[in-house]
Amino acid sequence: MTTSTQNEPLIAPPGLAGVVVADTEIGDVRGAEGFFHYRQYDATELAREVTFEEVWHLLVRGHLPTAAELDQWNDLIAENAVLPTDLADNLVEIMRRSGSDDPLVSLRTTVSALGALRGDRPLWDLDADAKEAAAIRTAAAVPWLVTAARQVRAGEPVREPRPELGVVGSYLWMVTGEEASEQHLRALSRYLCLTVDHGFNASTFTARVVASTGADLSACVVAGIGSLSGPLHGGAPSRALDALDEIGTVERAEPWARAQLAAGQRVMGFGHAVYRGLDPRSELLRETAVELGGPTADLAVQVEQEVVRVLDEAKPDRPLRANVEYYAGVVMQACGIPREMFTPTFAVSRTVGWTAHVLEQSRGRKIVRPSSRYVGQQPPQAVPSLDAR
């Protein structure tokens, strides 16, 4: 950042890259090191060792729960995962009337409606306990909102949550109609834990900006969903898997990658805005995909090697490696999640992170209000008459 005079605002680089805009205790991404953490713990180690519910507790309440705390926390999530019948019926009707085939459009509509029907109040007017309650009840409802909307679009019966299966098990039940195997539970839990938070990414920052205004919790989450809906943020898992389908065989990987680069196209699933080397999330998801097995996982590993070789040759000064989206689709598909549900599944996880950040942001009393730099014609100029325009 630079400034030309003491009285002028600082000028940030495009996209606010490298600019610190707030303090947080929730986590951090150390791109140069290929490392990220939630509070004081390595995020990839957490994904290996603990449940999604435990990570949720860590982000919201600041510490990993004891056994007794975990029981109470699981009960609290279960209590909020099943909506009252009249509320659920109203939301299903809204899903039917919305007519959108885009699952994120449906999600932001129903989260907004959920807040309105529940009478969400501005965060500015709530104490800490009421804010947390709003955060938990909203995040706990999202798995049902995304699965119910899909079933409504397909004209199928809406499956109810099964909280006794845990967040991951209940979600897979609502998506597939079957109780998941331990292998699938472990695989999807890893994915959800790895994606619950990732620094001040676009959607998290957006949610925090809205929270800084004192808006209600649902408004903050809707803002995050809107940001996530962009293909440069949350839409890549399905696109990366589409690319694997297009490639088909490992022999076609190199010419495909060269054609993408020659056309000036982004190679979906490779490169990251922060990491300049390995994405630690991708490493664990690669391992998970290999454990799940199957021809798609085998192809993904081989294609990754070929694409990285082409990218290294084309961009020797900027190493581009597989990012979290590359193997995310492989893992989710193996667990029975259809392609159109990849980004909504990301939203299930990231909503927990958004709400944790919203709670943290709402403890301050300062609105986020940066300046802009005007680059148009300089005023004042005389306003021309209508005939002169």
Q: Any idea which residues carry the catalytic annotation?
A: 272, 325
Q: How many CB atoms lie within 10 A of CB 34?
A: 19
8 Å CB contact between 121 and 219:
no
- The whole-angstrom separation of Cα 203 and Cα 185 is 26
Q: Does residue 73 sit in helix, strand or coil? A: helix
In the chain, what is the greatest distance between 2 CA atoms, to the nearest angstrom? 77
Place of tokens 């400034």: 3
Contacts for 322 with CB less than 8 Å, ≥ 6 apart: 269, 270, 279, 282, 286, 304, 307, 308
- The whole-angstrom separation of Cα 31 and Cα 295 is 31
Sheet containing strand 41-42, strands side by side: 27-30, 35-38, 41-42
- The whole-angstrom separation of Cα 297 and Cα 285 is 10
8 Å CB contact between 123 and 215:
yes
Helix, strand, coil distribution of the chain in percent, nearest 5: 60, 5, 35
DSSP 179: P
Contacts for 168 with CB less than 8 Å, ≥ 6 apart: 51, 52, 180, 185, 188, 189, 192
8 Å CB contact between 95 and 110:
yes
Tell me phi and psi for residue 29, to 5 degrees.
-120, 120
8 Å CB contact between 139 and 104:
no
What would the 3-class secondary structure string for 200-252 be? CCHHHHHHHHHHHCCCEHHHHHHHHHHHHCCCCCCCHHHHHHHHHHHHCCHHH
- The whole-angstrom separation of Cα 206 and Cα 188 is 26
